[in-house]
Each structure stands twice: as C-alpha cells, then as structure tokens.
Copies of this chain bind each other. A is one copy, B any other.
Amino acid sequence: MQFSVGVEYSLHCLLYLVDVNERSVGIKDLAAYQGVSESYLSKFFAKLKKNGIVESVPGAKGGYRLARAPETITFWDVVEAVEGSEPFFKCTEIRQNEIILDRSNLPASHTKSPCLIHKVMDEAEAQMKHFLQSKTLKWLYDEVQNKVPSVHIQATKEWFERNL
C-alpha cells in the first residue's frame, strides 16, 4: 500500500508550473532541475494531461503548463491522475463464498445490503480524499512562498527562464 513516486514527482513539478503562466516548461528542464529521469517523468505528464491538470505545447520550445487555475487543482486530483481511480480496497465479495450458502440462491443480506467491511474501507478512503481535496496547488504554492527564502525562489524562477 504505497503511492507511486509519480505522485511526488508530479506535485513537485506542478509547483514549478504555477509561475509559468502562458509560457510552458519542457520535461527536459523539469527533469534536469530535479535530477530525475526525463523519459519516466514524461509518462506521468501524459497522465496529468489526460486528466486535464496540465496542457501541452507541441513542437520546439514546447512543454507543459497548467490547464487550469492552481486554486482548482487539488492534491487528490493529482493522486487520482497518477494512480488511477480504482478504489484502494477491492472487495472480492468473499462473503458470497460462505460454504453454507447456496450459490444459486444467495440471501438478500449477502447481495442487497453492502458488505460492511467494504463500506468501512471505502469511507476510510473518502476521509483521505476529502482531506486531499482541501489542499490545492495554490495553497501549496503560497505556503512554499512563505517558508522558502525568497532568494532561492528567485533563483529557481531564473533557472527556468534562463533560456526562454
């Protein structure tokens, strides 16, 4: 039960895209700046694009930029884009296998009402989802703006703009 590194990569990258408004940043730069694999990172951006979080600018001097305002991009959006939207807990309806049951004539208690364990696990995921939906990219950006020395933020900005 672990999130893939794509979640970490994506969130860090998106943070750099906030400052880039109508322009765009290439995978090459994003990968180089953070010292991660370029080709692997591009796979996650394909997912972010498919989920409407970023949009791409094809061709030379192309790259990616946010597809919508950072206020509307939540941590959950990113998790869902990268990890897919399968629920954390997949219930195999093990209860319908109980040896004392007639498989061709299951009681309503085993088919109509939901599996309680399944329900609890889905609710647990919903708790996490709710929390992550409350944290936006804009919020993260503002927090970082406050916590990281402005000289470093400025240097980062200049690095990404160095060859535009």
* Residues of A participating in the B interface, judged by any CB pair closer than 8 Å: 1-5, 7-9, 11-12, 32-36, 75, 79, 83, 86, 88-92, 94-95, 97-100, 107, 109, 113, 116-117, 120-121, 123-125, 127-128, 130-132, 135, 140, 143-144, 147-149, 152, 155-156, 159
Question: Is there an interface contact between A152 and B107, defined as CB atoms closer than 8 Å?
Answer: yes
Copies of this protein chain in the complex: 2
* Chain B minimum-CB-distance residue to A11: B117
Q: Give the residue name and chain of the B residue nearest to A149 (CB).
A: B109
**Quick one: which of A4, A99, A124, A127 has the most chain B CB within 10 A?**
A124
| Residue in A1, A11, A92, A147 with the greatest tally of chain B CB atoms within 10 Å | A1
Bound-state CA distance A3–B121 (Å) is 10
With A94-B34, A97-B36: A147-B2 Cβ-Cβ less than 8 Å: no
Nearest CB on B from A135, distance (A): 5
State whether A5 and B92 are in contact (beta carbons under 8 Å apart), knowing that A98-B34, A127-B127 are contacts in the complex.
yes
6 contacts between A and B (CB under 8 A): A1-B83, A1-B88, A8-B91, A32-B99, A35-B98, A120-B140
